């Protein structure tokens, strides 16, 4: 398991999924997939924000709103989206776990694909942690 994980991460980071290599993967993926709604700095003011029924969350305040502790695993679960039980209404946010998995399975196969998809979500959750104010 550990070996797999390291190998998948190495593949992921070296291939870079076509994103710029100079910046950390989590940041590049964020700018690529999330900034349109959540804004370039996570303030919830992306270009698409006004078109949504539910305003995109301000991702810089998650730690503050959680009593000073960054809610890492909740953030991870919300980004993944595959295992979140819908509370009410529809989800405006894409289910990234499914989307990443669809892409990654084609490149790394069913087992590797799941591992790479999870690693991408971890990189995003880690990047969002760095945006906390």
Which residues of this chain interact with ligand HEC, rule CB under 6 A?
A: 33-34, 36-38, 48, 52, 54, 56-57, 59, 62, 75, 78-79, 91-94, 96, 124
Q: How far is CA 110 from each of CA 2, 28, 84, 106, rounded to the nearest angstrom?
A: 17, 25, 21, 8
Decide whether 12 or 79 has the Cβ nearer to ligand HEC.
79
Report residue 96 as tokens: 């990234």
Residue with token string 């595959």? 82
CB of 33 to ligand HEC, least distance (A): 4
The length of the chain is 133
Decide whether 7 or 72 has the Cβ nearer to ligand HEC.
72
CB of 21 to ligand HEC, least distance (A): 19
Report the distance separating Cα 82 and Cα 118, nearest Å. 11
CB of 1 to ligand HEC, least distance (A): 25
CB of 131 to ligand HEC, least distance (A): 10
Decide whether 7 or 9 has the Cβ nearer to ligand HEC.
9
Contacts (Cβ under 8 Å, ≥6 apart) of 64:
132, 133
Report residue 102 as tokens: 């669809």
Report the distance separating Cα 79 and Cα 1, nearest Å. 23
Decide whether 36 or 105 has the Cβ nearer to ligand HEC.
36
């Amino acid at each position: 398991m550990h070996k797999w994980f390291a190998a998948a991460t190495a593949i992921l980071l070296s291939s870079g999924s076509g994103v710029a290599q100079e910046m950390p993967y989590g940041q590049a993926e964020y700018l690529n997939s999330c900034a349109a709604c959540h804004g370039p700095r996570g303030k919830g003011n992306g270009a698409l924000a006004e078109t949504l029924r539910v305003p995109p969350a301000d991702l810089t305040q998650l730690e503050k709103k959680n009593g000073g502790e960054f809610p890492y695993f909740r953030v991870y679960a919300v980004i993944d989206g595959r295992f979140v039980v819908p509370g009410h209404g529809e989800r405006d946010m894409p289910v990234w776990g499914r989307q990443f998995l669809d892409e990654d399975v084609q490149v790394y196969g069913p087992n590797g694909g799941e591992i790479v998809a999870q690693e991408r979500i971890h990189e995003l959750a880690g990047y969002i942690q760095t945006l906390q104010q």
